[in-house]
Amino acid sequence: MTLEIVQTGNPVLRKVARQMSVAEIRSDNTRLLIEQMRDTMRDAPGVGLAAPQIGESIQLAVIEDRVDYLKDVSSEELAARQRAPVDFHVIINPKLHVVGEATVDFFEGCLSVAGFGAVVGRAANVRVECLNERAEPITITAQGWYARILQHEIDHLNGTLYIDRMETRTFTTVENVDRFWNSKADVD
């Protein structure tokens, strides 16, 4: 079963989500919610979905960058974005740590700002300390596109959207990102 993805303007997207207890994380309700969020993310399709995006103000997000999402992306573009497949996983109550000072600017979109994209500067390398779906502590070290996904989803848990961080003059429709920006040959 897929869930409705709320759009910008819904107050739940602007609240800092509450932390989850160990008992709550291990509950059948949370297990079911994670399955529904996974299905919703895949159906959209997207590479991440935070609980506030489906109206739940809790510190939980699902992430997956599937192999089939990359099949039509050139090897040059994959290298430039440092993008590779990421297996499905859950982050709960995450703490984000920027590693180093390097930043990277790329277009981002969001399932809660449907149909638009803009350039957003993000840290190139991050470390995330969180709990998994079994309430076990894990540490994730990520770079490139995976680091961007983590930062984007953790922003959602803190009431921040990419439009708060975007370079405003780059805000455009997804169609125009594909038309004018994904092929730099047509752009001076």
The pLDDT of residue 181 is: 77
The two tokens of residue 134 are: 């079994």
pLDDT at 187: 33
End-to-end CA distance of the chain: 45
Q: Computed from CA positions of residues 103, 108, 111, 116, in that sequence, does the dihedral angle turn out positive or negative? A: positive
Q: Which listed residue (108, 129, 136, 153) is catalytic? A: 153
**CB neighbours of residue 188 within 10 Å:** 3
pLDDT at 185 over 50: no
CA separation for the pair 52, 9 (Å, rounded) = 12
Could you write out the three-class secondary structure of the chain?
CCCCCCCCCCHHHHCCCECCCHHHHCCHHHHHHHHHHHHHHHHCCCCEEEHHHHCCCECEEEEEECHHHHCCCCHHHHHHHCCCCEEEEEEEEEEEEECCCCEEEEEEECCCCCCEEEEEEEECEEEEEEECCCCCEEEEEEEHHHHHHHHHHHHHHCCCCHHHCECHHHCEEHHHHHHHHCCHHHCC
pLDDT, tens digit (0-9, with 9 covering 90-100), for 155-173: 999 999 999 999 999 999 9
Say whether 153 is catalytic.
yes
Give buried/exposed letters for 126-149 (b at 16+ CB in 10 A, else e).
Answer: bebebbebebeeeebebbbbbbbb
pLDDT in tens, 115-125: 999 999 999 99
Answer whether 0.75 is exceeded by the pTM: yes
Over 60: is that where the pLDDT of 134 sits? yes
The structure tokens listed for 14 are: 């602007």
Which pLDDT band, with edges at 50, 70 and 90, does 38 fall under? very high
Answer with the residue of higher pLDDT: 136 or 180. Answer: 136
- Could you report the per-residue pLDDT of 77-116, keeping only the tens digit for each? 899 899 999 999 999 999 999 999 999 999 999 999 999 9
Domains defined along the chain, listed by start: 11-182 (3.90.45.10)
